[in-house]
């Protein structure tokens, strides 16, 4: 299969990658391969090959919301890193799905464009952020995405507008239709003062350093906040700060973060998430929704 992937000449192929090298939790077994298609035509060529040969696949961004298992992922991962074009036309940003979100937020901030400051600490790609409707500080991608170009299951490139994308708290049309692939996005920002925007970003970075365990591998918030409450508060009330299973720990800084503190296995993190979810349900009758995705 690896030889066949290379013969397709669609882009770089890495065989037998360790998922701990491609996810922010730094856990997981190996995959069959990662492929980096160079453009839409090569992406389509790759998808057709995988579907014809019944090989499972997954689009992989920065791996900042994924928990692979410790076992082999018997499929191919597709990274859209080459989809990284960037055009800035006044307040209109056209950007490829593989572009780094933090990099973009810093670039537009320095240009005095406001609206993406919330993303300066979110370690994802544009495509991943739209898929998850990533957000912080009471705003999210849904407020700034005007439209996207997406590849449909029958290999058509279509434009989906904001109203089509069904953005809600940490979810979108793409999550419910994950056979659509985001290729690029158009974001609408506003003019602002570069110095003021950079000050906001610096102040928030400082706050994150004080309140989030950024010194350890993690995938950010584990659970969505329930309506009118905070997942972290519920977990802390259960006395779970510092609780561990194997090398996976509930952060002492922020109870809604699980950290890989001591060579955790993926199974340690998954068990800890399940235990917390069960305990919160048992004590508060609240079904916490896991923000992160288990991949098998």
The mean pLDDT of 44-51, rounded to a whole number, is 98
Q: Is residue 221 part of a domain?
A: yes
31 Cβ partners below 8 Å, 6+ apart?
A: 16, 17, 19, 68, 72, 73, 75, 76, 77
Q: Do 138 and 45 fall within a single domain? A: no
Q: Do 253 and 170 fall within a single domain? A: no
Q: Is residue 127 part of a domain?
A: yes
pLDDT for res 52: 97
107-120 tens-digit pLDDT: 999 999 999 999 99
Q: Are 127 and 182 in contact (CB under 8 A)?
A: yes
**What CATH number is given to the structural domain containing 107?**
3.30.465.10
**What CATH number is given to the structural domain containing 265?**
3.90.78.10
What is the C-alpha to C-alpha distance for residues 136 and 31, in angstroms, rounded to an integer?
A: 31
Q: Do 70 and 104 fall within a single domain? A: no
Which amino acids are annotated catalytic? 170, 221, 291
Q: Do 96 and 190 fall within a single domain? A: yes
Q: Is residue 173 part of a domain?
A: yes
Provide the domain count of the chain.
Answer: 3
Residue position matching structure tokens 């970075």: 205
Give the count of alpha carbons within 13 A of 213, CB side only: 25
237-284 tens-digit pLDDT: 999 999 999 999 999 999 999 999 999 999 999 999 999 999 999 999
What is the C-alpha to C-alpha distance for residues 17 and 73, in angstroms, rounded to an integer?
A: 10
Q: Do 68 and 95 fall within a single domain? A: no
52 Cβ partners below 8 Å, 6+ apart?
A: none
Instruction: Kindly give the interhelix angle for 101-110 and 194-211, rounded to the nearest 10 degrees.
Output: 140
Q: Do 153 and 230 fall within a single domain? A: no
122-136 tens-digit pLDDT: 999 999 999 999 999
Q: Do 102 and 191 fall within a single domain? A: yes
Query: Given 79, 95, 111, which residue is the final one in a domain?
Result: 79
Q: Do 192 and 90 fall within a single domain? A: yes
């Amino acid at each position: 299969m690896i030889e066949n992937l290379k013969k397709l000449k669609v882009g770089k192929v890495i065989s037998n990658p360790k998922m701990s090298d491609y996810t922010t939790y730094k856990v997981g077994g190996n995959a069959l391969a990662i492929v980096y298609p160079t453009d839409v035509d090569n992406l389509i060529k790759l998808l057709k090959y995988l579907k014809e040969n019944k090989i499972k696949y997954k689009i992989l961004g920065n791996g900042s919301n994924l928990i692979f298992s410790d076992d082999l992922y018997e499929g191919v991962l597709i990274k859209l890193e080459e989809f990284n074009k960037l055009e800035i036309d006044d307040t209109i940003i056209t950007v490829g799905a593989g572009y780094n979100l933090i990099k973009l937020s810093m670039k537009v901030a320095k240009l005095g464009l406001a609206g993406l400051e919330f993303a300066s600490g979110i370690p994802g790609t544009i495509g991943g952020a739209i898929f998850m409707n990533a957000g912080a500080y009471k705003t999210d991608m849904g407020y700034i995405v005007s439209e996207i170009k997406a590849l449909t299951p029958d290999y058509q490139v279509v434009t989906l507008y904001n109203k089509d994308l069904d953005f809600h708290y940490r979810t979108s049309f793409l999550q419910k239709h994950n056979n659509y692939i985001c290729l690029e996005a158009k974001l609408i920002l506003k003019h602002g003062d570069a110095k003021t925007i950079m000050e906001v970003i610096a102040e928030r970075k400082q706050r994150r350093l004080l309140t989030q365990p950024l010194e350890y591998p993690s995938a950010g918030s584990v659970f969505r906040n329930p309506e009118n409450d905070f997942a972290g508060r519920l977990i802390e009330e259960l006395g779970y700060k510092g609780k561990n299973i194997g090398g996976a720990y509930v952060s002492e800084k922020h109870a809604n973060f699980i950290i890989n503190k001591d060579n955790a296995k993926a199974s340690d993190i998954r068990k800890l998430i399940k235990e917390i979810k069960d305990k919160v349900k048992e004590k508060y009758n609240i079904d916490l929704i896991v923000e992160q995705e288990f991949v098998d």
